[in-house]
Amino acid sequence: MISVERVVDLTRPITTDMAMWPGTPAPSFETRVTVEENGFFARLWHLWEHTGTHIDAPAHFIPGGITVESLPLAGLVCPAVVIDVADRCEGEPDYAVSTGDVTRFEAEYGKVPAGSATLIRSGWDALGDDHERFMGPAGDLHFPGIGEEAARLLVEDRGVLGIGAAQPCDEAA
């Protein structure tokens, strides 16, 4: 049984003007039912599968990989660590988290525990409503990510269940 010290909401609101992957349509919302006319309120949402806060299942990158509804729920609720590289990402849109970033984190906070998730705080979420600054000019993508060696270290050597990007908030910082 996992003990929960605190729950941190890392979601970002879905808006019609949020930064989107190039070529994908912006979300739209259509009010279809109102309390006044129907006794309840409901909207029809139109949005791309990878809009806003979401999980990429292996099928997103691996042909024949499992899809999000097949991910075991037990693996989606786990302790998390936040590796903050926001200072290194400032002015560096192509910054890739390195094994050095992981080992610096571990020197200060201890080894990343197996069975946890590792969240990377790049600070890039502050640009979430500025398409060009968030992802780079159209057709020329530039945004922080995680380097292959750091990802392998976390998954293969540390046994993390997932790697993600974290929005900053007082509780997670």
Q: Delineate the domains of the chain, giving CATH numbers in brackets.
A: 56-165 (3.50.30.50)
**Of 72 and 151, more confident:** 151
Q: How far apart are CA 71 and CA 60, in angstroms?
A: 13
Q: How far apart are CA 91 and CA 97, in angstroms?
A: 15
Residue 169 pLDDT exceeds 50: no
The residue whose two tokens read 């992981």 is: 102
Q: What confidence tier does 173 reach under pLDDT thresholds 50, 70, 90? A: very low
Q: How far apart are CA 96 and CA 89, in angstroms?
A: 9
Residue 171 pLDDT exceeds 60: no
State residue 13's pLDDT score.
Answer: 83
Residue 35 CB neighbours (<10 A): 9
Q: How far apart are CA 10 and CA 125, in angstroms?
A: 11
Q: Please provide the average confidence, as pLDDT, over all residues in the chain.
A: 85
State residue 172's pLDDT score.
Answer: 38
Percentage of the chain surpassing pLDDT 70?
Answer: 89
Dihedral over Cα of 102, 86, 60, 11: its sign = positive
Residue pLDDT, tens place only, 98-133: 999 999 999 999 999 999 999 999 888 777 667 677
Identify the CA nearest to 160 among candidates 124, 123, 106, 108.
106
State residue 1's pLDDT score.
Answer: 44
Token readout for 20 is 């989107």
The residue whose two tokens read 């109102």 is: 34
Q: What confidence tier does 52 reach under pLDDT thresholds 50, 70, 90? A: confident
Say if CB 55 and CB 49 are below 8 A apart.
Answer: no
Residue 4 pLDDT exceeds 70: no
